[in-house]
Amino acid sequence: MKRSTQIGLAAAGLLLVASYWGRTGSQDQSEESLVYANLAECRAGGQLTSPQCEQRFREASANHLRDAKKFTSTSACEAEYGSGSCQSAVWNGASVVVPALAGFMLARSLAQGGGAAQPLLPPTRQACPPGSPAQECQQARSSSSSGGGYGGGRSSSSRAYSTTSGAALVARSGSSPGVATTTTTSRGGFGLTARSYFSSSSS
Amino acid sequence: MRRVPLAPRPNWQADVERLGFAFHTLDGETYWDESVAYAFTLEEIERDLEAPTDAIEQLCFAFIEKAIDDDEVLTRLAIPAAQWDLIRESWRRGDRNLYGRLDLAYDGKGPAKLLEYNADTPTALFESAVVQWDWLEQAMARGALRPDCDQFNALHERLIAAFAQLRQPSPYRLHLACVQDSNEDKGTVDYMLDCAVQAGLDARFTYIEEIGLLSDGRFCDGANQPIETLFKLYPWEWLFREGYAANLATARCQFVEPPWKALLSNKGLLAFLWEMEPGHPNLLPTFFEGDPRCASLSQRRVRKPLYSREGANVTLTERGQVLDSDDGPYGAEGFVLQDAALNLFQADGHYAVLGSWLVASQACGLCLREDVSPITRNTSRFVPHYIEG
């Protein structure tokens, strides 16, 4: 693939993930599935070894409880994440309800060594309202135990998630401080030429 | 390479605005134009654009090696003598560069030809890295294009990786600056800042005009924070001649792009490259104006100021008659004459110029600008591209 695998835009609150379809008849079959619904899917994808998948899954699981939004009741959680999307947990000794772990994502491309795996949550009710016909929502609401997702059939090629920071995500596949004590002696020594030109300072 | 008319998304303005793309329309004219796209084969991209881009970059490095200690070359490039040491030291230290864009003539039928190298302050970056990427994803998702299409566009990933490696130790503090009153430049720098933050940097914005000088000789931002590393979307040839020019060397600041890029972001480069490698398949015959060898140029030729941006002051002539020109403030430092490219893509009354992106000196992306005239200007429309599945 000759394009970025994902694009995060903090200012826009967006995380975009590239779709991937194998180029038939091409040598370029290096699948860049960055999002897995579960451990089985990761192993089936064949991109990571089984121990690597287990480690990634452990990282995501470990961060899940820490990063997921906590609720005091199942109904409050389901109001945001949809029916059947939440689980009970104990956090710092208190009973909480959190959106369940729906998958995990590698933050950087595998070629760059990858960062820690990020936990993924079910899509919010806002992104996938109940009964939404959108394929990515139906995939997200159905059981993820089939392991068919990204390595598998081309029909199940798109699934909605949300990140722990609340961004909507659709995975498609087949796819110094320390200021010295100084004072400012002057200002405005740059920029004069731009003012005298009508055209742009860039090209 | 094909020009493919396509129906724009019904709400394309909202679709691109959701990405934070604020300048899809400039002065009332469409700038982001998705009513057409350019299709390439993977072989065209890799053999004709990616590989030559990397080769030209290596040629540029060979030129710098030769030119950096040659007073005569620096004089011909109209670089002030007072800045030569700054430039030489930045090259000897190996100051890293972030990005650049080669403008190429290419019609799919032969080797791409270098028109010029925007080595210092290229824009059209956000629309290249993000907007056309998202356009392709959506076009494939809704079935307007086959789902196995691709795009030559790893800009976003490469920028983040390059930001992390510009300076050691990393992460470091980075200031990013552009001029006031330019939405396009601000949009570009905002995107750069986003990438820098994702690279883990302490990234801060300041306007060029806000930069100040501390009593210890360092530059500072509008909040008096010292500037240690400065990404400036502002040309070196202007910095070299403005009020703080004499402070550049003593400010203990690492600049991005580094000062040595001044040797490349100059049309004189085109004449020197041709002198080094006459007949190179990716170069056009080019000489400094007044050089007797200009007589060997073809009758259809282009006159370009050493310093010029967005097509300003560029003139296309045939047998001495002006066919196309663009006004502007440049030209005082001299001109080069270049054979007009014969392989500028032309279809349906439109010309297209290709922009081949480099990040950390590696080819990693493509953009196209389209116009009804053969000179690309700041109003030329940006059109997306894809690699056919």
> Could you report the per-residue pLDDT of B118-153, keeping only the tens digit for each?
999 998 999 999 999 999 999 998 899 999 999 999
Q: Is residue B171 part of a domain?
A: yes
Nearest residue on chain A to B130, judged by CA atoms? Answer: A7
How far is B295 from chain A, CA to nearest CA, in Å? 30
Tens digit of pLDDT for each residue in A59-114?
A: 888 888 888 989 999 999 999 998 889 998 888 888 899 999 998 887 544 434 44
Nearest residue on chain A to B183, judged by CA atoms? Answer: A200
State how far the Cα of B216 lies from the Cα of B70, in Å rounded to an integer: 33
pLDDT of amino acid A54: 84
State how far the Cα of B118 lies from the Cα of A203, in Å rounded to an integer: 7
Scanning B161-190 for CB atoms below 8 A from A yields 161, 172-173, 178-180, 182, 184-185, 188, 190
Identify the residue with better confidence: A94 or B256.
Answer: B256
In the predicted model, what is the mean pLDDT of chain B? 94
Given a cut of 60, whether residue B222 has pLDDT beyond it is: yes
Report the residue from B188, B214, B234 with minimal CB separation from A190: B234
Note whether B208 contacts A191, CB cutoff 8 Å. Answer: yes
Helix (H) or strand (E) holding B371: strand B362-371
Nearest residue on chain A to B311, judged by CA atoms? Answer: A203
What is the ipTM for the molecules in this complex?
0.90
* Pairing status of strand B99-105 against strand B113-118: antiparallel
pLDDT of amino acid A197: 61
Domain ranges for chain A, please list them: 33-175
B307 pairs with which residues across the strands?
Answer: none
Q: Is residue B66 part of a domain?
A: yes
Report the residue from A189, A196, A203 with minimal CB separation from B243: A189
Given a cut of 90, whether residue B284 has pLDDT beyond it is: yes
Scanning B339-368 for CB atoms below 8 A from A yields none
Q: Is residue B33 part of a domain?
A: yes
Q: Is residue B284 part of a domain?
A: no
Q: Is residue B76 part of a domain?
A: yes
Residue B127's SS3 state is helix
Note whether B242 contacts A191, CB cutoff 8 Å. Answer: yes
* Pairing status of strand B25-26 against strand B2-5: unpaired
Given a cut of 60, whether residue A29 has pLDDT beyond it is: no
Identify the residue with better confidence: B56 or A187.
Answer: B56
Interval B8-13 mean pLDDT = 95
Interval A189-196 mean pLDDT = 80
Given a cut of 70, whether residue B265 has pLDDT beyond it is: yes
Q: Please, are residues B220 and B175 in contact by the beta-carbon 8 Å criterion?
A: no
State how far the Cα of B372 lies from the Cα of B352, in Å rounded to an integer: 9
**Cβ–Cβ contact A115 with B under 8 A:** no
* Dihedral sign computed on CA atoms, order B78, B81, B87, B88: positive
pLDDT of amino acid A51: 82
Note whether A4 contacts B244, CB cutoff 8 Å. Answer: no
Single-letter residue type at B86? L
Residue B314's SS3 state is coil
**Cβ–Cβ contact A193 with B under 8 A:** yes
Interval B234-246 mean pLDDT = 96
Of all residues in chain A, the percent with pLDDT exceeding 90 is: 9
Note whether B238 contacts A3, CB cutoff 8 Å. Answer: no
**Cβ–Cβ contact B137 with A under 8 A:** yes
pLDDT of amino acid A103: 87
How far is B72 from chain A, CA to nearest CA, in Å? 26
Which tokens in the block code for residue A196?
């005298």
Convert chain A into a string of H (helix), E (strand) and C (coil): CCECCEEEECCCCEEEECCCCCCCCCCCCCCCCCEECCHHHHHHHCCCCHHHHHHHHHHHHHHHHHHCCCECCHHHHHHHHCCCCEEEEEECCEEEEEECCCEEEECCCHHHCCCCEEEEECCCCCCCCCCCCCHHHHHHHCCCCCCCCCCCCCCCCEEEEEECCCCEEEEECCCCCCCCCCCEEEECCCCHHHHHCCCCCCC
pLDDT of amino acid A31: 34
pLDDT of amino acid A184: 59
Q: CA-CA distances (angstroms) from residue A154 to A148, A149, A173?
A: 9, 8, 8
Interval A127-137 mean pLDDT = 76
pLDDT of amino acid A147: 31
How far is A46 from chain B, CA to nearest CA, in Å? 20
Of all residues in chain B, the percent with pLDDT exceeding 70 is: 98
Q: How confident is the model at residue A193 (pLDDT cuts 50, 70, 90)?
A: confident
pTM value? 0.76
Report the greatest alpha carbon distance in chain B.
61
Q: Is residue B257 part of a domain?
A: yes
Tens digit of pLDDT for each residue in B344-373?
A: 999 989 999 999 999 999 999 999 999 988
Q: How many domains does chain B have?
A: 1
* Pairing status of strand B286-288 against strand B335-339: antiparallel
Interval A28-39 mean pLDDT = 57
| Nearest C-alpha neighbor of A65 from the set A97, A112, A36 | A97
Which tokens in the block code for residue A145?
């135990």
Report the residue from A4, A12, A19 with minimal CB separation from B141: A19
Q: How many angstroms separate the first and last alpha carbons of chain B?
A: 13
Q: Is residue B279 part of a domain?
A: no
Q: Please list every residue in chain A whose beta carbon sits closer than 8 Å to the beta carbon of residue B194.
A: 9-11
DSSP3 helix / strand / coil % (chain B, rounded to 5): 30, 25, 40
Note whether B197 contacts A4, CB cutoff 8 Å. Answer: no
Single-letter residue type at A76? A
Note whether B19 contacts A19, CB cutoff 8 Å. Answer: no
Q: How confident is the model at residue B101 (pLDDT cuts 50, 70, 90)?
A: very high
| Nearest C-alpha neighbor of A168 from the set A129, A119, A127 | A127
Kindly give, in sequence order, each residue whose CB lies less than 8 Å from that of residue A55, ignoring residues fewer than 6 positions away. Answer: none
Interval B233-259 mean pLDDT = 96
How far is B216 from chain A, CA to nearest CA, in Å? 7
Q: Please, are residues B358 and B53 in contact by the beta-carbon 8 Å criterion?
A: yes
Residue B389's SS3 state is coil
Identify the residue with better confidence: A65 or B291.
Answer: B291
State how far the Cα of B209 lies from the Cα of B116, in Å rounded to an integer: 28
**What is the domain range of residue B87?**
2-266+346-387
pLDDT of amino acid A20: 61
Q: Please list every residue in chain A whose beta carbon sits closer than 8 Å to the beta carbon of residue B134.
A: 7, 16
Q: How confident is the model at residue A28 (pLDDT cuts 50, 70, 90)?
A: very low
